[in-house]
Each structure stands twice: as C-alpha cells, then as structure tokens.
A = this chain, B = another copy of it.
Amino acid sequence: MSDASPLPPGSVIGILGGGQLGRMLSVAASRLGYKTCIFEPGGDCPASHVANFHFKASYDDTEALARFAEAVDVITYEFENIPTSALDALDAVKPIRPGREALRVSQDRLVEKEFLEGLGLSVAPFADVPDGAALEAAIARIGTPAILKTRRFGYDGKGQARIMEPGDAAGALADMQGAPAILEGFVDFEREVSVIAARGVSGEVACFDPGENVHEGGILRTTTVPATLSTAQRTDAVLLAGRILNALDYVGVMGVELFVTPAGLVVNEIAPRVHNSGHWTQNGCVTDQFEQHIRAVAGLPLADGSRHADVVMENLIGDDMDRLPDLIADPKAGVHLYGKAEVKAGRKMGHVNRLVPRTS
C-alpha cells in the first residue's frame, strides 16, 4: 500500500488492543465500510463485540502477530505500551500508523519530556531517576512537592508516588519496584485542557476544540467543551499540538494534555491514540475522534473537527453504573457503554455526553 492511496471500502484495519477505545474505533471503521481485526490476549473483550475478527493471542506470540499482520491492510492501536518485539514482528509485514517514532517517544516519560523540550515547548521540571542518589539530587534541584513516576507503562495514575517532603523519597522509590523513574515537579496550573489533534498521510492537521479536564484520583472524571481559554490560549494550544504532530511525521489522532498556567501552556503528556478526553466528539461533531483516526490511518482526507454543540463528557467509573437508569432517562444525554461484564472500582464502564446548545 502506498502512503498516498486511500484504503478502499472492504479493507481490514488491524487494531492492537481490545478495550473500549478499540471498540469505538471498530464502530467508526464500520461507518466507513471497513472491517476490523482485533489483536487482544483477553477473550470477551469490549472491541471483539463489534469487530469482524479477533486474534486472541499474547503480544509475545510473534507467529500470531505475523498472521494478524498478514490478515489486515494497516495496523493501528488503542494503547501505546506495545512491546518493541511485537512492533518489529508487525511492521515487517504491514504499515503501523501512527508510526514507530510516536511510540518510541510516548512509551518513555523521559524521552517524551526531552522530545517536547527539544521542540521548544514548556514541560514540568523533570529529572532522570535511575537510582536513590539521583533521586536525592533531583529533589534538591526540583524541590517538593514533586511526583516520582515510572518512565514506562504508567496509566490512570498507576506507577506514580507523591513526594510531599524530602523524607518521602525512600518510600516513593520503593513504590517504583526497581523500575527506571523520573521525578516531575508540580506545575501550579489554573486548569488542565487537552487538544485532540489529527494528522493525515499527506500532512494536513485538524484539531478538535480543546476540552477542559477534571481528574479524580488520577482518573479523568469530566471533559467540558468549550474549555475556559482566551482566544490566544486556544490558538496556542492548537498550534502547539500541530507542531508535535509534524515533528513526529504523525498519522492518526493524538491526545495532547496541557496545563494552563499564568506563564503559558505547559505540556503534561501526549498519547499517540484516541483519547478519553475526546469522547465528547461522538455527540458534538459530525466526525468524531474515532472516525478521524480511522480516516487518517486509512489515508482518507480528515474532517475539519468542527463542533455543533457544547458538551460535558462524564466518565462512568465503577459504581457510577448504579446511576444508569437516570442517565438513560435523560433525553439530552448520549450514553456510551463498553460492554464490560464486571463492574469494578476504578474501572471505566462507559461515559455520557450531555449536550447543550452551542454558546461559543
């Protein structure tokens, strides 16, 4: 497949990961006439319910990975922590979009911070923490409070420990369980926003309106669109996202999380995939982030990201599902459930998009 020619309808899009993001990507692919093939070690996973094919195998099963790659026309993913060996087995056979460079950068918090700094963007103060001595020096430089994070494989607040005063250092380091870590200084921010940005195979970039995020316990709770931003901040956010995508020669949708501070925007982190803070687009836009991602990886033109409503997206986590009868009964609420069999504390079970007429 040449980079320039769009995938014809009937083509098969391979998706690594079978969670809710893969599920909603599969639905979006079906709208464009594509079939989907999920690669996911778990059995009755959310994406498998709406995908044509499901390779149920481990990410170290290189033979299964090769068969999967043969069965599809292009490969994408719903999570960034894909083992390098798996990527090697796959991209020998079919293109992976977004590409390897985006994964290399976003799989490692240290590499990501250095990459963003190299683009001239602001990030939180940070220091590499290979060991206890380095942690002591890092705390001396950055100060407290600070947060120690594993360089790899963190999500939803996992693999993180707060250091409120220097005496917390040893305990925090123990929490890393020997994994390489980085120390990040706290950013005194007014709010957190994210930009869901997309870049197509021919290099065009389109962004959805920034959303304002509220987290609880390290997990996204709500995203509100439009975010409270000045026109200049909104423009900055979008330009900054475009710079990141261009630098990576990126193809697909990326979530760019930003802190809004009096001194300007600080990049918190990037995710090379569709993003929880972009779920509002399902009910606020003609083309949502999932279809935008499929369009990009399939080589189709991007939609413009325009928005026809204001939206508040609320995640349904764990026991929030007890409120389902009320949510379903609200005629202005778009309810999206993930088909997960079991409700667990902290598990994302679905989300709801509440629409209000567009105000700005």
| Residue-wise interface mask of A (1-40) relative to B, using a CB-CB cutoff of 8 A (1 in contact, 0 not) | 0000010011000000000000100110011111100000
Instruction: State in angstroms the CA–CA spacing of A109 and B34 once bound together.
Output: 37
In this assembly, does A333 line the interface, its C-beta being within 8 Å of a C-beta of chain B? yes
For window 276-300 of A, CB contacts with B under 8 Å fall at: 283, 286-287, 295, 300
Total interface residues in chain A, CB < 8 Å: 47
Rounded to whole angstroms, the CA-CA distance of A31 and B30 in the bound complex is 14
Report A265 CB to chain B, min CB distance, Å. Answer: 26
A10 to B283, CA, bound (A): 23
Number of identical protomers: 2
Determine the residue in chain B with the shortest Cβ distance to A339: B33
A355 at the interface (CB under 8 A from B): yes
- The 18 listed contacts between A and B (C-beta, < 8 Å) are A6-B325, A9-B321, A10-B339, A10-B341, A26-B50, A27-B27, A27-B50, A30-B339, A31-B337, A33-B338, A33-B339, A34-B339, A35-B49, A301-B329, A303-B331, A308-B308, A308-B309, A308-B357
Q: Report A's interface with B, CB cutoff 8 A.
A: 6, 9-10, 23, 26-27, 30-35, 48-52, 283, 286-287, 295, 300-301, 303-304, 306, 308-309, 321, 324-325, 328-329, 331-339, 341, 350, 353, 355, 357
The 8 tightest CB contacts between A and B, nearest first, are A33-B337, A304-B331, A301-B329, A50-B50, A286-B334, A303-B331, A30-B50, A49-B52
